[in-house]
């Protein structure tokens, strides 16, 4: 049956694959409530659609590598407002990450939600599916309007997930989440889109950017910087300080939701949007020639360090991981606004690498909660003896976040650091290195505490019975940990694709032409 399915997918035109990628999670969202009374069937729907979605996105991958850029125009609303989709390398990468991790996250969710006896599981899975549908729409969006639409749907569909527990704290966090994300998107992102429309006369993502910096309609460097300000802070999902409060607040949600927020969809949608805006709306050349990006380089560098320092002082495990995410997101923003081909490559790669590492860390935090109801770092003494697999996975993922070979995180940091040099911001490279040290300082003590300190109430060296999380959780954790490792050796599947990103608009849709980006980038590939 599966072979025939693959055969069918291979024969599908890439445009149909886009439709399928949007349709599958939507259909899941409609089917799940129908299976309300049969939980096993309901979860089967989620799992099957997750696998189907990943299959579809992976079937799109070879087309993108071959230089095909499938487009799908759905509806013209008028005045530049067109609902249309186009798959380009960055979006493809994001879609692959999100759809692949949805499978793992679904496996984990089933274990977690059942293990914790959470209420309202049907609406939980529905919102999850809607969030995935909007993530796919965002990844494949061909213009700012489509992106904005998907962005807002993603916020709204994840709001019920954040408030899932319906406790007063959850409601409060939900309010912060909704107001900060909808608020910034309406007050800053939307005007940015309107101004883009007014100056550029189009909203389509175009290689080399659409905002004129020379000629009649040109924006002065000052206004260009202002527009960049609107985009960077309007896309609140990227959690650039001071728009980061929602992320630590949202950790009241169940762990699978945190994983969705931090790794699969939400924050990644934010930084992905920023990457796309920088590359296809501003154009990296426009930013570097006008130096409109200088201030945001300093700001995001500050965020990288500041969030890491805050993370060190958090005792709540999920809060610590949340601030770690804030810091890591600023890596990607920094990579984007350094605006060189290498730094953007690093940023895009970091979406992938950070996703796998961070989802593992959150899965571990959730596993600890399910098995032992521990939430604070200070309670974790000796937990490594109870849950060796979980804590080992936590260790591996921490190393990947820090960027130590042989783990995936190495590559993204490598390219980011090279990009900083390429852009002649040596200090940014220093920031990346210092931040790695800080990462070590807030992640590894957790591991050492878990393994080397005795469990409270037991003497050192005394044997304790292993008490791990539900099997479904363990499977998910093992898969993503393995992912961190594999990504070190097989990172070229992503690099080959990012190489195809058209930075200048000079490149046509042929895969044979070399990627723009200069010698450093080429050199980097040779190093590998």
Partner 1 sequence: MNALSWGAAEPHLPILVVVIPLVGALLTTFLRNGFLAWLVATLVAFTLPFITIHLLLTVLETGQPITYKIGNWEAPFGIVYRVDQLSGYVLSVIAIIGAVIMPFARRSVVAEIDERARSWYYTMYLLCLAGLLGIVITGDAFNAFVFLEVSSLATYVLIALGKNRRALLAAYQYLIMGTIGATLYVVGVGLLYVVTGTLNFDDMASRLSAAIVDPGQRNAVVTALGFMVVGLSLKLALFPMHMWLPNAYAYAPSFATAFLAGTATKAAIYLLVRVVFSVFGVGMTLENLPIGEVVIVLSIAAMFLASISAVFETNAKRMLAYSSVAQIGYITLGIAIANQAGLTGSLAHIANHAVMKTALFLALGAVFYRVGSVLYDDISGIGRKMPLTMAAFAIAGLGLMGTPGTAGFISKWYLAVAAIDDGMYSVVFLIVASSLISVVYIGRITEVVWFREPSKAAAQAKEAPLSMLIPLWLLAFATVYLGFDTRATVGTASEAAKVLLEGVR
Q: Which is nearer to partner 1, 122 or 294 (CB)?
A: 122
Q: Which two tokens stand for residue 262?
A: 């931090």
Query: Minimum distance between the CB of residue 395 and partner 1, rounded to whole angstroms?
Result: 38
Q: Are 317 and 383 in contact (CB under 8 A)?
A: no
- State which of residues 179, 430, 437, 464 lies at the interface with partner 1 (CB under 8 A): 179
Q: Which is nearer to partner 1, 33 or 405 (CB)?
A: 33
Contact mark string toward partner 1, 121..160, x via CB under 8 A:
------------------------x--xx--xx--x---x
Q: In angstroms, rounded to a whole number, what is the distance separating the alpha carbons of residues 174 and 493? A: 37
Q: Are 409 and 357 in contact (CB under 8 A)?
A: yes
Could you tell me how many residues of this chain bind partner 1 (CB under 8 A)? 30
Q: In angstroms, rounded to a whole number, what is the distance separating the alpha carbons of residues 393 and 473? A: 12
Query: Minimum distance between the CB of residue 149 and partner 1, rounded to whole angstroms?
Result: 4
The helix, strand and coil proportions of the chain, stated in percent and rounded to the nearest 5, come to 75, 5, 25
Q: Which is nearer to partner 1, 163 or 480 (CB)?
A: 163
Position 486 contacts partner 1 (CB under 8 A): no
Residue 21: which of 105, 126, 129, 112 has the closest Cα?
Answer: 129
Report the DSSP pairing between strands 81-86 and 71-78.
Answer: antiparallel
Q: In angstroms, rounded to a whole number, what is the distance separating the alpha carbons of residues 227 and 213? A: 12
- State which of residues 9, 19, 178, 434 lies at the interface with partner 1 (CB under 8 A): 178
- Measure CA 16 to chain center: 25
Contact segment (CB under 8 A) with partner 1 among 168-176, 269-277, 399-407, 426-434 equals 168-176
Position 182 contacts partner 1 (CB under 8 A): yes
Buried b (16+ CB within 10 A) or exposed e, 400-412: bbbbbeebbbbbb
Binding to partner 1 in span 410-469, by CB under 8 A = none
Preceding amide of 242 cis, omega within 30: yes
Q: In angstroms, rounded to a whole number, what is the distance separating the alpha carbons of residues 362 and 262? A: 9
Contact segment (CB under 8 A) with partner 1 among 39-47, 167-175, 238-246, 414-422 equals 167-175
Query: Minimum distance between the CB of residue 310 and partner 1, rounded to whole angstroms?
Result: 27
Q: Which is nearer to partner 1, 79 or 512 (CB)?
A: 79
Contact mark string toward partner 1, 193..212, x via CB under 8 A:
-xx-xx--------------
Binding to partner 1 in span 51-80, by CB under 8 A = 75, 77-79
Contact segment (CB under 8 A) with partner 1 among 111-119, 174-182, 385-393, 488-496 equals 174-182
Q: In angstroms, rounded to a whole number, what is the distance separating the alpha carbons of residues 140 and 276? A: 11
Q: In angstroms, rounded to a whole number, what is the distance separating the alpha carbons of residues 176 and 60? A: 37
- State which of residues 69, 114, 175, 453 lies at the interface with partner 1 (CB under 8 A): 175
- When computed from its CA atoms, the radius of gyration of the chain, rounded to whole angstroms, is 22
Query: Minimum distance between the CB of residue 190 and partner 1, rounded to whole angstroms?
Result: 5
Distance between terminal CA atoms of the chain? 39
Query: Minimum distance between the CB of residue 183 and partner 1, rounded to whole angstroms?
Result: 5
Applying CB under 8 A, which residues contact partner 1? 75, 77-79, 81, 83, 145, 148-149, 152-153, 156, 160, 163, 166, 171, 174-175, 178-179, 182-183, 186-187, 190-191, 194-195, 197-198
């Amino acid at each position: 049956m599966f072979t025939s399915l693959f055969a069918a997918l291979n024969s599908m035109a890439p445009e149909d694959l886009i439709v399928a990628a949007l349709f599958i999670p939507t259909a899941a969202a409609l089917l799940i409530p129908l299976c309300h009374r049969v939980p096993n069937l309901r979860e089967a729907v989620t799992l099957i659609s997750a696998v189907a979605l990943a299959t579809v996105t992976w079937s799109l991958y070879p087309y993108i590598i071959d230089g095909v850029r499938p487009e799908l125009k759905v509806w013209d609303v008028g005045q530049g407002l067109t609902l249309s989709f186009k798959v380009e390398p960055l979006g493809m990468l994001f879609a692959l990450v999100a759809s692949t991790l949805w499978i793992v996250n679904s496996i984990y969710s089933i274990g977690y939600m059942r293990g914790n006896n959470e209420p309202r599981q049907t609406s939980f899975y529905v919102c999850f599916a809607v969030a995935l549908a909007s993530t796919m729409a965002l990844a494949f969006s061909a213009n700012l309007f489509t992106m904005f639409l998907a962005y807002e749907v993603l916020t709204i569909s994840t709001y019920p997930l954040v408030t899932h527990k319906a406790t007063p704290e959850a409601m409060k966090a939900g309010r912060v989440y909704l107001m900060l994300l909808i608020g910034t998107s309406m007050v800053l992102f939307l005007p940015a889109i309107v101004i883009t429309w007014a100056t550029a006369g189009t909203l389509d993502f175009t290689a080399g950017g659409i905002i004129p910096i020379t000629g009649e309609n040109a924006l002065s460097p000052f206004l260009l910087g202002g527009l960049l300000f609107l985009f960077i802070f309007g896309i609140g999902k990227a959690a650039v300080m001071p728009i980061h409060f929602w992320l630590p607040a949202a950790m009241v949600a169940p762990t699978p939701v945190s994983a969705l927020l931090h790794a699969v969809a939400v924050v990644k949608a934010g930084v992905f949007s920023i990457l796309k805006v920088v590359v296809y709306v501003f154009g990296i050349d426009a930013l570097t020639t006008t130096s409109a990006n200088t201030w945001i380089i300093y700001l995001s560098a500050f965020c990288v360090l500041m969030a890491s320092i805050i993370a060190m002082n958090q005792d709540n495990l999920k809060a610590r991981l949340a601030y770690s995410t804030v810091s890591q997101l600023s890596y990607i923003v920094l990579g984007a606004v350094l605006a060189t081909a290498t730094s953007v490559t690093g940023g895009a790669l970091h979406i992938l690498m950070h996703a796998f590492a961070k989802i593992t860390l959150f899965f571990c935090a959730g596993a600890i909660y399910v098995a032992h109801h521990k939430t604070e770092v200070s309670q974790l003494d000796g937990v490594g003896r109870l849950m060796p697999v979980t804590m080992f996975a936590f260790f591996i993922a921490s190393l990947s976040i820090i960027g130590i070979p042989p783990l995936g995180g190495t590559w993204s940091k490598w390219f980011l650091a090279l990009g900083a040099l390429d852009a002649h911001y040596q200090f940014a490279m220093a920031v990346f290195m210092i931040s790695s040290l800080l990462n070590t300082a807030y992640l590894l003590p957790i591991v050492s505490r878990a393994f080397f300190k005795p469990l409270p109430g037991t003497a050192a060296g005394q044997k304790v019975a292993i008490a791990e999380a539900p099997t479904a959780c363990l499977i998910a954790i093992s898969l993503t940990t393995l992912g961190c490792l594999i990504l070190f050796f097989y990172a070229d599947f992503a690099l080959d694709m990012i190489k195809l990103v058209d930075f200048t608009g000079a490149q046509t849709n042929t895969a044979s032409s070399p990627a723009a980006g200069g010698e450093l980038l080429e050199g980097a590939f040779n190093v590998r």
